[in-house]
Homo-oligomer: A and B are copies of this chain.
């Protein structure tokens, strides 16, 4: 799991019937202190995350399919909102 910042949104056509209407957000992993924690990735949002918000992202295909009850080609999911990520 990673803490990541929502930095944008992807608009496009994903040709899989189970993925119609899903929001695809661009998230940037972020370490404590705000440093980058890895490469940007695209995550499926179903919690209503907002632009600039810090979220918790799980990158696991089987987890994603269990969560959505879907057999679709998915892997990276926003599973929560981060209120604080703090030292100690």
Chain A residues with a Cβ under 8 A of chain B: 1-3, 7-16, 19, 24, 26, 29, 31-32, 37-44, 47, 51, 56, 58-67, 71-77, 79-88
Contacts and interface: CB of A to CB of B under 8 A. Distances in A.
B75 A60 contact: yes
Contacts of A72: 63, 66-67
25 contacts: A2-B42, A3-B10, A3-B26, A3-B40, A8-B86, A8-B87, A9-B85, A12-B56, A12-B81, A14-B56, A15-B47, A15-B79, A16-B67, A16-B80, A26-B85, A32-B40, A37-B41, A58-B61, A58-B73, A58-B74, A58-B75, A60-B61, A61-B63, A62-B62, A63-B74
